[in-house]
Structure 1
Amino acid sequence: MVFKCQEDSFLTEFCSTVVACERTDRGGYNVIFEDTVLFPEGGGQPSDHGWLNDYEVKNVTRTGPDAIHFVEGEQAPFQIGDRVHQKVNWERRFDHMQQHSGQHLITAIFDREFGFSTRSWWLGTDDSYVDLDTTDVTREQLETVEKICNQLIVACTPVTVDVFQPDDPALKSDATRTRGLPDDVSGPLRVVTIDGVEKNMCCGTHVKNLAQLQAIKFLNLEKSKNKCLVHFLVGSRIIRKLTECYERELQFNILLNGGPPSHTDLIKKLQTTVKAAQKTSKKLTAELALLEAEKVNSAEPKPRFYAIHRLDGTDSDFINTFLRNIKLVDCFLFLTTGDESGKGQLLLQGKPEDIVQLGGDICKLLDGKGAGKGTRFNAKVNKLKAIDQCQKLIEQHFNSHNVEK
């Protein structure tokens, strides 16, 4: 069946009669009409959103000749025979029309110019892509296809939709492709023609003229195993992307204290400064760790336990340097690193019997997850504010040992 939305993709409102309204297992109702202006998902194009009278519709699927509209609610929204006013979310519909017609054009030009067929395509919420049957696409090829597509847009190339019966000889023509045709399609078939470019069977909604696409812009080429995805934007999405980029550019102007021509140089300078600061910080951290280790090594009397807690990040350089330079074998070490959020790392080092008795309890107090083996216990923790409780636990443990002795 060819639905009303497929007869006229620019039709936004329509009245039709309910032929079925059934409760679903997931709650809500599936509503079927004699005809519909709301496009059901198919051909790689998501379904329309819209309204049935005052009921919002965010999902329309197709089963054979029927378009099934899902409506949330506990009570049946309609009765069989009701006449219902259907209205399309036009902003979403037109966006999908632009992206879908743009995909047809991109696919056709890649095929015509370089012999790259399209295996599949995806219409996303932010951008879309075509999956080309090739292992690579060069920058020059991308630029060529984009230029040709935009020339055809400027030329106001017509886009027409014709309806044929399944046994029509015209459908067997080499000029007519079958990309995007659902496997369970039945009844009349639609052929979308971009004048002088291609003829392609398709169930989706399309523009009437390539000028309505406004423009096509390729974003990036994504390569992975057995995939070559060309991401693109069409029409209004380009304007939206440009607006986002411009607003970000204005923010960069303020943060970098310079205009767009100087952004690259300013960022490189900033990166150099950061690297220098990180190098200095690492050196100071090592020196501080050495001093702390020397403080422990030279302490009299020799401490039975020692604690160090740092809230300048989870970097392990300080602890590693400290441990490499500590000389007290029997000293129980309670070390943590983290930040103001309370999350960080825990390390305990000491006699195996002390690790066994204290490790699990300390880890629990700090809301951590970890394990100990021999003279070490390591964990990731989420509650560094409980450090004082841990230190009391350690003091009680060693004080009780002193009493026993």
Structure 2
Amino acid sequence: MLKIGDNIRERGKMQELFYYQDVMMKEFNASVQTQKEDEEGRKYIVLDNTAFYPTGGGQPYDTGMLNAVEVIDVEKIDSEIRHYVTKFLPDNTTEVHGVLDWQRRFDHMQQHAGQHILTAAFVELFNYPTVSFHLGTETVTIDIDHAKISDEELAAVEKRANDIILENRPIVTKWVTEEEMLNYNLRKAVSVTGEIRLVIIPDYDYNGCGGTHPTSTGQVQAIKILATEKQKKKTRVHFVCGGRVLHELHWRKKELSEAARLSNVPEEKTAQAVTKLLQTQKELEKALADANNQLLTFEAKELLQESDANLICKTFTSRSVQELQQLARAIIATDEASTALFVSKQADKLQFVAAKGEAAHIGSMKEIANTVLPVINGKGGGNDTFVQGGGEVTISAEQLLEKMTKVLV
């Protein structure tokens, strides 16, 4: 553990912060500088030094404890590092013992170092630069400045990245001036001035970075690319490193095993079994749709036979507007001189369909929609021969059908 009494903010030397002096530090002692509330009423504590990393450079903040007080967020505001806490320390507290949530910190270090390694592999192999980086709670993403990356390229990059990990190369940091920085072949330009922190994997990657990383590539353990997605003219690569690889493997293995059990096949034949099931499902859906169409055609003929005129009007309960549309189309296809007016009540809404055949000498269906939609505070649309809509249950289904019918008589 380290303890210094000088105020780091006053000295203005970033490299003397504990999280830069010893990235593997899990606990530390420090002096309390102040305890305040910010403009939003959030409580925070400022120390003379800290091992808690504040949000920055794509890496999330650390959490942990200051004595018995929980640290829930850490931010660098101007020149001070604020430890946001659930409550203040006792008023007479001058010294604190800080303990990091090491599992969270080390995970962040693995992901951040893995990002450096993977990004460098894209540049080394294909000259595809990374333009942004996000460390999420489950996966990490980098946006690559290239519109399309092939599976073969992804495989090559992943292999190169894991080779660098297996070589267990050191990850070293170095503070340099702007002039000294010119001696290094940096992967990308550095925007900061003054004291510049380089993160270096010798003979592989040189990059300006203020984040925390393990001391060797071997501590990253492994990198696995999970997926890619198109982002305008760029490609977003989703990946995980270290402990997250094991987590991904665990839940994917669990899901695969369950899918294999349900399919009653060995795990290696799960994809084949799922493909067969999907084909069977499509066949069943088509057969069901054909049977439903036959039933609707039969129902349409029955309604036409029951009607004394060419105007078929009927109310339904819990029938979808899609079914009403199909039934109406079946009627006017069977008898082009007919007109169908249907209303269905479903829970807290009314839906209607109005359709007329090509030979029907009757008014426009749009007149029906224009008349009844305001009554039910509804929305709908269509044309002169076919309209549909729905709205609130302001009146009964029978009353709505009566209003629709009156438009035509």
What range is the shorter-chain TM-score in? 0.7 to 0.9
Is the 2:133–2:141 contact (alpha carbons within 8 Å) kept by the matching residues of 1? Answer: yes
**Rounded Cα–Cα distance in structure 1 between residues aligned with 2:270 and 2:321:** 29
Amino acid at match of 2:84: F
Report the counterpart of residue 28 of structure 2 in structure 1.
14
Report the counterpart of residue 205 of structure 1 in structure 2.
212
**Rounded Cα–Cα distance in structure 1 between residues aligned with 2:67 and 2:323:** 59
Written as runs of structure 1 = structure 2, the 5 A alignment for 1:351-362 is: 358-361=372-375
Residue 68, structure 1, aligned to residue 82, structure 2: yes
When the two structures are superposed, what TM-score results if normalisation uses the length of structure 2? 0.80
Residue 325, structure 1, aligned to residue 333, structure 2: yes
Is the 2:33–2:47 contact (alpha carbons within 8 Å) kept by the matching residues of 1? Answer: yes
**Rounded Cα–Cα distance in structure 2 between residues aligned with 1:251 and 1:344:** 40
Is the 2:368–2:404 contact (alpha carbons within 8 Å) kept by the matching residues of 1? Answer: no
Alignment deviations for residues 70-117 of structure 1 (CA, whole Å, 9 cap, x no partner): 2345xx556597322322221211111001001111122222233222
Q: Any gaps of 5 or more consecutive residues in structure 2?
A: 1-13, 356-362
What displacement does 1:325 show?
A: 3.4
Report the counterpart of residue 334 of structure 1 in structure 2.
343
**Rounded Cα–Cα distance in structure 2 between residues aligned with 1:232 and 1:345:** 48
Secondary structure at 2:141's aligned position in 1? strand
Q: 1:86 aligns with which of 98, 115, 128?
A: 98
Residue 391, structure 1, aligned to residue 397, structure 2: yes
What displacement does 1:144 show?
A: 2.1
Report the counterpart of residue 153 of structure 1 in structure 2.
165
1:108–1:395 CA distance, 2 compared to 1 (3 A): closer
**Rounded Cα–Cα distance in structure 1 between residues aligned with 2:85 and 2:351:** 52
Larger deviation: 30-39 or 201-210?
A: 30-39
Alignment deviations for residues 291-342 of structure 1 (CA, whole Å, 9 cap, x no partner): 2221221115457731244558956763453353375756642146x7xxx5
1:295–1:163 CA distance, 2 compared to 1 (3 A): same
Amino acid at match of 1:22: K
Amino acid at match of 2:180: A
**Rounded Cα–Cα distance in structure 2 between residues aligned with 1:345 and 1:209:** 66
Residue 260, structure 1, aligned to residue 267, structure 2: yes
Is the 1:21–1:80 contact (alpha carbons within 8 Å) kept by the matching residues of 2? Answer: no
Q: CA RMSD in A?
A: 3.5
Alignment deviations for residues 205-262 of structure 1 (CA, whole Å, 9 cap, x no partner): 1011111111111222323322122222111111001011111012101221212222
Residue 307, structure 1, aligned to residue 319, structure 2: no
Amino acid at match of 1:271: L
Secondary structure at 2:306's aligned position in 1? coil
Alignment deviations for residues 120-175 of structure 1 (CA, whole Å, 9 cap, x no partner): 222122211222233333333322222222222222211122334x35x4322133
**Rounded Cα–Cα distance in structure 1 between residues aligned with 2:41 and 2:99:** 23
Report the counterpart of residue 346 of structure 1 in structure 2.
351
Q: Any gaps of 5 or more consecutive residues in structure 1?
A: none
Alignment deviations for residues 269-312 of structure 1 (CA, whole Å, 9 cap, x no partner): 21221121122122122211222221221115457731244558
Higher RCO, 1 vs 2 (CA within 8 Å, ≥6 residues apart): 1
**Rounded Cα–Cα distance in structure 2 between residues aligned with 1:82 and 1:357:** 77
Written as runs of structure 1 = structure 2, the 5 A alignment for 1:2-401 is: 2=15, 3-72=17-86, 76-77=88-89, 82-164=94-176, 166=177, 169-177=179-187, 183=192, 188-302=195-309, 305-309=313-317, 311=319, 318-319=326-327, 321-325=329-333, 327=335, 329=338, 332-335=341-344, 342=347, 346-349=351-354, 358-361=372-375, 363=376, 369-370=379-380, 378-379=388-389, 390-394=396-400
**Rounded Cα–Cα distance in structure 2 between residues aligned with 1:319 and 1:148:** 61
1:128–1:272 CA distance, 2 compared to 1 (3 A): same
**Rounded Cα–Cα distance in structure 2 between residues aligned with 1:58 and 1:182:** 30
Larger deviation: 137-146 or 327-336?
A: 327-336
Is the 1:117–1:132 contact (alpha carbons within 8 Å) kept by the matching residues of 2? Answer: yes
Amino acid at match of 2:127: G
Identity level (%): 25
**Rounded Cα–Cα distance in structure 2 between residues aligned with 1:225 and 1:356:** 42
Larger deviation: 150-159 or 315-324?
A: 315-324
**Rounded Cα–Cα distance in structure 2 between residues aligned with 1:390 and 1:62:** 63
Report the counterpart of residue 6 of structure 2 in structure 1.
none
**Rounded Cα–Cα distance in structure 2 between residues aligned with 1:398 and 1:190:** 76
When the two structures are superposed, what TM-score results if normalisation uses the length of structure 1? 0.80
1:281–1:58 CA distance, 2 compared to 1 (3 A): same
Secondary structure at 1:59's aligned position in 2? strand
